[in-house]
């Protein structure tokens, strides 16, 4: 069962402070080993989760804790859109980021492959069109 309490945070490093419209530092974690279960058919879904954020009040997410949080979806029956929305909600709550993107990229089902992208906060000027 998805469990945001698994997320561990650490303060943004001192030399990564910033100001103005361009974020000082942007962090991206790409997990190519995500799996959950289709709530209708019970078959597993496989995808890649990309998290991209500019740290805010909550600081940074620790990498191993992020992995364990993602693993907590392993046997959860949940739709693509809900996975994406849930991850955004949990991470936004924890990180309070200046900006965040969650992109879930799913292998094909019935000949159709899907991508769901959820943004949080204003896209920095230098990340437009990405």
Q: Nearer to its own copies by C-beta: 5 or 80?
A: 80
Active-site residue 3, yes or no?
Answer: no
39: left (phi over 0), alpha (psi -120 to 50) or beta: alpha
Alpha-carbon gap, residue 70 to 36, rounded angstroms: 9
**What's the closest the beta carbon of residue 72 comes to its own copies, in angstroms?**
12
Active-site residue 60, yes or no?
Answer: no
Rg for the chain (alpha carbons), in Å?
Answer: 15
Instruction: For residue 93, count other CB atoms closer than 10 A to its CB.
Output: 11
Residues that bind its own copies (CB under 8 A): 12-16, 18, 22-33, 35, 43-44, 46, 60, 63-64, 66-67, 71, 74-75, 79, 81-82, 84-86, 88-89, 107-119, 122-123, 125-130
Q: Nearer to its own copies by C-beta: 5 or 68?
A: 68
18 forms bridges with which residues in the sheet? none
Q: Nearer to its own copies by C-beta: 5 or 74?
A: 74
**What's the closest the beta carbon of residue 92 comes to its own copies, in angstroms?**
10
Q: Cα–Cα–Cα angle for 98, 100, 106, nearest 5°?
A: 175
**What's the closest the beta carbon of residue 129 comes to its own copies, in angstroms?**
4
| Structure token pair of residue 129 | 């069109």
Please tell me which residue in 38, 60, 90, 119 is annotated as part of the active site.
Answer: 38
Please tell me which residue in 3, 45, 60, 119 is annotated as part of the active site.
Answer: 45
Q: Which positions are annotated as active-site residues?
A: 38, 45
């Amino acid at each position: 069962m998805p469990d945001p309490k698994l997320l561990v945070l650490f303060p943004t490093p001192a030399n990564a402070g910033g100001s103005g419209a361009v974020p000082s530092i942007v962090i991206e974690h790409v997990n190519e080993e995500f799996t959950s279960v289709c709530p209708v058919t019970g078959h597993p879904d496989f995808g890649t989760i990309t998290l991209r954020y500019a740290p805010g009040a909550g600081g940074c997410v620790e990498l191993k804790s992020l992995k364990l949080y993602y693993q907590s979806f392993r046997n959860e029956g949940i739709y693509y859109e809900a996975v994406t929305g849930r991850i955004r909600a949990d991470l936004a709550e924890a990180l309070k980021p200046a900006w965040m993107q969650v992109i879930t990229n799913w292998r094909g089902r019935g000949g159709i492959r899907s991508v769901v992208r959820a943004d949080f906060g204003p896209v920095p000027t230098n990340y437009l069109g990405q």
